[in-house]
Amino acid sequence: MFSPSQEEHCAPAKDPVKYGELVVLGYNGSLPNGDRGRRKSRFALYRRTKANGVKPSTVHNLNTPQASKAVNCKGQHSISYTLSRNQTVVVEYCHDKDTDMFQIGRSTESPIDFVVTDTVSGGQEGEDAPITQSTISRFACRVVCQRSPPFTARIYAAGFDSSKNIFLGEKAAKWKNPDGHMDGLTTNGVLVMHPRGGFTEESKPGVWREISVCGDVYTLRETRSAQTRGKLVEHESNVLQDGSLVDLCGATLLWRTADGLFHTPTQKHLEALRQEVNAARPQCPVGLNTLAFPSMQRSRALSSLEDKQPWVYLACGHVHGYHNWGHRSEREPNAQRECPMCRTVGPYVPLWLGCEPAFYVDTGAPTHAFVPCGHVCSEKSVKYWSEIPLPHGTHAFHAACPFCATQLSLSQGCAKLIFQGPID
């Protein structure tokens, strides 16, 4: 499931209790420039040696900014709700011996456990991508896990900064609930979708909701940063389920429980499937040369194309080796090609194996490819992701390949691959 280096980096020496993992969509097993420290494509949450969770305690109603500073200087966790220039409500948080807290965000400051940057479609890394300004919050959200069985994990919008404060300014959406406690939303919001039927072959997409700072569930705002909140959804909770998606407006994370990961295909299993496909010696129906999927390491890195690399005509699914004819456009040579087998015209792309096991809903053979990127995985996994509308920008949703975040074609999200066996 993991490389030895990942296991050593993630797992504490003595405490093996694992709550689950957060996996960033758009990366095929690791970041393009490699996983480094707290910045990686997947983050395992283990029970801490000592509990670091917090829970609400004292509430202060303050009339001056100076009073607010005085409260925040105690080195205690707190959430400040600025209602006006002259009124701030500060909710102090005290230690909770029963929970562990993990924080996710763009900041590299020490309170952040998992550093996440904007995902760019096509699998490029955020640093090299043409992003002018990130839409991911520096302290985006926090996951709080119960230290005792069933190890329930809950998600909350916003994370505590280096001064242990969450600050909701005048312009942030905030309100007082009927029971008197304050709550609010972050600028671009934290959206969550729980799949219907868990994360299995039978799963179906759920409904996207927004999670508040205190963990309540709301319908979506009109746009990501609108100041008016959605409606409270009372029968739903902020408990993460196997397969829950968490969107931070710039990156989407998949939550896999420890039990869910136990039933997920391992790297060894995916490697065995790759070798099985290659052992069947698929051939290019035109050049008659044998084709082979490159190793997992090379697929992960999207490295230079190899001679035996399988290519596919996405409109029909016929798999070939690379050849340099059939162009319909000089400007985009591979965008419109005519398949020599069936004369269907469509995109012609190299095939890459999906190497991140957490994205698979079953252990099936790699028979289908996402359109238009050419990432290959099992039929049920391809169909599941093809049906999920992922948030894009401030109000759009579209299905995307989980391995590279490329937006899927509206007319055809996936293609069944047609391999030709050896003639001899």
* Domain that residue 309 falls in: 267-416
Q: What angle do CA 266, 294, 398 make, to 5 degrees?
A: 70
Residues 386 and 282 in one domain: yes
Residues 207 and 233 in one domain: yes
Residues 152 and 291 in one domain: no
Residues 149 and 240 in one domain: yes
Q: What angle do CA 407, 218, 165 make, to 5 degrees?
A: 95
From first to last of the 424 residues of the chain, give the pLDDT tens digit: 333 334 434 444 554 799 999 999 999 988 877 788 898 999 999 999 999 999 999 898 888 766 666 566 667 899 999 988 888 999 999 999 999 999 999 999 999 999 999 888 775 544 444 555 888 999 999 999 999 999 999 999 999 999 999 999 878 899 999 988 999 999 999 999 999 988 998 999 999 999 999 999 999 998 888 889 999 999 999 999 999 999 999 999 999 999 999 999 999 999 999 999 999 999 998 888 899 998 866 555 555 567 789 999 999 999 999 887 656 655 565 568 889 989 999 999 999 999 999 999 999 999 999 999 999 999 999 999 999 999 987 778 999 999 999 999 988 899 999 998 765 5
What is the SS3 string spanning 135-204?
Answer: CCCCCCEEEEEECCCCCCEEEEECCCCCCCEEEECCCCCEEECCCCCEEECCCCCEEEECCECCCCCCCE
Work out how many domains the chain is built from and give that number. Answer: 2
Residues 276 and 400 in one domain: yes
Residues 219 and 293 in one domain: no
Q: How confident is the model at residue 237, as a pLDDT?
A: 96
The answer to whether position 421 is within a domain reads: no
The answer to whether position 393 is within a domain reads: yes
Q: How confident is the model at residue 120, as a pLDDT?
A: 82
Residues 99 and 215 in one domain: yes
The model's pTM is: 0.89
In the numeric block, the tokens 């008197």 are attached to 180
Residues 245 and 194 in one domain: yes
The answer to whether position 375 is within a domain reads: yes
Q: How confident is the model at residue 334, as a pLDDT?
A: 59
Which of 207, 231, 262 is the last residue in one of the domains?
262
Residues 250 and 276 in one domain: no
Sequence-separated contacts (24+) of 325-328 with Cβ below 8 Å: none
Which of 262, 286, 315 is the last residue in one of the domains?
262
Q: How confident is the model at residue 9, as a pLDDT?
A: 43
Residues 66 and 139 in one domain: yes
